[in-house]
Chain A
Amino acid sequence: MELVSVKDLTKTYSKHNVVDHVGFDLHPGKCVALLGPNGAGKTTTLRMLAGFIQPTSGTILFNEDTLSKDFRKYVGYLPQHPSFYPWMSGEEFLHYAGQLAGLTKHEVSDRSEKLLQLVHLTDAGKKRIGKYSGGMKQRLGIAQALIHQPKLIMLDEPVSSLDPIGRREVLNLIRELKKDATVLFSTHILNDAEEVSEEILLMNDGKLIEQGPISEIRGMQQTVTIRLSFEKEPKFIHEKLKEIDSVYQVTEENGVFDVTVHDLNAARKAIFERVQEEGWELSLFEITSGTLEDIFMKAVNK
């Protein structure tokens, strides 16, 4: 049974559909990456799911609760650039956030101690947030999102503003989180999505253009691209590559050839035969497609 079911979600700002009839389900215990270029409508989608902007049309249903419209109690949300009260300490902010979510004083001090430990802020917990670094704020942001043990955790670009160490820490944290909850995070960095998530939602220009498990999406690809380059460019290489049966398209850029083929094995065999017969001085042979980047570029340029 799905945790959240989103149907026909649309948000219109001044006649422009920022989010355009988007529909998907989120299943418990999964980590889902929301991918898309900047301005694709990722943040707006997350904000509607977080319950604090109202959709123009469409529905968001939590299976827990079909009656109340306020599902914020099931959701933990971290905005892209979280900002806090600089005069509070990290611990105080967690207490505040927890009590806003309806936790008692006792529950909240218990919970915030655990969370500060989880995000490695135990020592900094008593320090004023004004003195925190960017990475510490991001981690405190994750802790405050988790304070009321939400079923769905949503993180908006959680790693894009972090240095490599901070990025690694947050990705590891996301792996921890999906043990207890569903995680939905937006990113435009494909490696991050590939690393921690099982499913992706790919958005462009307000529309959802691909969705499903990463492996499935990879399998759906009809063609494969082989990248070739040569020490010395053979004569008529363009034409000769095109003669191969399963080759469908050849493009060249700065001496690097991208050969799109239908049947990888047949094409590979044919290319190596030519290498032998014609004495091509091959310096690079790489199968480049089937990566998320490839899928992303294809879907976005469609």
Chain B
Amino acid sequence: MQWTVILKKELTENWRNFKWIWVPIVFILISIMDPISTYYMPIIIESAGGLPEGTIIDIPMPNPSEAMMMSFSQLNIIGVLILTVISMGTISGEIKSGVYELVLAKPVKYTNYVTAKFFSYWLLMIVSLFLGLLASWYYINLLFGDLAFSQLIVAALFYACWLTLLIAIVILYNTWFKSPGLIAFLSIITVIILSVMTNIFSHVLGWSPAKITEYIAIYLHTGDLDTEIWFSSLIALLVSLSCLLFAIVSLRNKAID
């Protein structure tokens, strides 16, 4: 099937340029970084020295759910940045180099082309996210106390909706602009605007996908899933779907020069 042919090519490409190796590793590192460094902070400060004799270091230890949120907030910045950068040229780069013309000369369906590309990055995102959160969960259980594995999985799934939207936005911009740098810049700006707007109008934008992280924090703390988290995740998935549809349409109407 044509879709699997394109997907296989994408997976091979990202395997050969080592994205399948470094992206999961970086996700693991950024997920465990904050919880571990927080735990060892007293020891680090002590061994660094320079403190007057008799100083008592008393940093309150976060509870497991707070430690988990440290991972999420790192992913929300560095993770988003990495996902944007690795996918910023997936279509625009092929158009720019000209290989798109060869691909298109074959009876390739635009739907297959766009969705297979999206799915290949979505897979990379899911795998990296789960590996990162799994590593973080392991250390949190070791250092801070118990956090149910089921809670981790549920939180990861909801968070994945937010990152799904991010990838869909990058794919859409890929069909609008030629320069990968511009695509990355605009994607990040879009996410920032979305987050800022959500913060400013939070009383009316309860369903905003930018709120997912906030709801995850509540969920990890209380263990209860509000309707709002379902709602904002659903919105994230619907908007992702429309981004992909727009991407297909705009690619179909694109003039190549």
Residues of A with Cβ closer than 8 Å to B? 13, 47, 50-53, 70, 72-73, 75-77, 79, 81-85, 87, 96-97, 99-102, 141, 144-145, 148
Contact = CB atoms under 8 A, between A and B. Distances in A.
A95 to B, nearest CB: 9
Given A52-B256, A87-B13, A82 B108 contact: no
Given A52-B104, A77-B105, 5 more contacts: A50-B105, A79-B101, A83-B101, A87-B16, A100-B107
B2 interface: yes
A47 B254 CA distance: 13
Given A52-B104, A145-B105, A148-B106, A102 B2 contact: yes
Contacts of A53: 255-256
A72 B102 contact: no
B5 interface: yes
Contacts of B101: 52, 79, 82-83
15 contacts: A52-B101, A52-B104, A53-B255, A53-B256, A72-B106, A72-B107, A73-B107, A77-B102, A83-B101, A84-B99, A85-B9, A85-B99, A87-B13, A101-B106, A144-B102
Contacts of B239: none
Contacts of B103: 97, 100
Contact of B98 (A51, A70, A73, A79): A79
B242 to A, nearest CB: 24
A96 B98 contact: no
A52 B99 contact: no
Interface in B69-118: 97-99, 101-108
Contacts of A70: 107
Contacts of B256: 47, 52-53
B2 A99 contact: yes
Interface residues of B, number: 20
Contacts of B227: none
Interface in B45-91: none
B13 A81 contact: no
Nearest to A73: B107
Contacts of A73: 107
B98 A81 contact: yes
Most buried by B among A72, A99, A100, A144: A100
Contacts of A76: 105
A73 B107 CA distance: 6
A286 B98 CA distance: 46
B99 A83 contact: yes
A126 to B, nearest CB: 15
Nearest to B257: A13
A76 B2 CA distance: 18
Contacts of B107: 70, 72-73, 100-102
A32 B186 CA distance: 46
Most buried by A among B16, B97, B101, B105: B105
Nearest to A95: B5
Interface string B1-40: 0100110010001001100000000000000000000000
Contacts of A102: 2, 107
Interface in B180-209: none
Nearest to B109: A70
Contacts of B98: 79, 81-83
A142 to B, nearest CB: 12
Contacts of B106: 72, 97, 100-101, 148
Most buried by B among A85, A97, A145: A85
A239 to B, nearest CB: 54
Contacts of A101: 106-107
A84 B102 contact: yes
Contacts of B9: 85, 96
Contacts of B255: 13, 53
Nearest to B15: A87
A52 B105 contact: yes
Nearest to B254: A53
A59 to B, nearest CB: 19
A125 B255 CA distance: 33
B114 to A, nearest CB: 14
A144 B104 CA distance: 12
Contacts of A96: 5, 9
A96 B99 CA distance: 12
Contacts of A141: 102
A138 B255 CA distance: 24
Contacts of B5: 96, 99-100
Nearest to B16: A87
Contact of A83 (B16, B97, B104, B105): B97
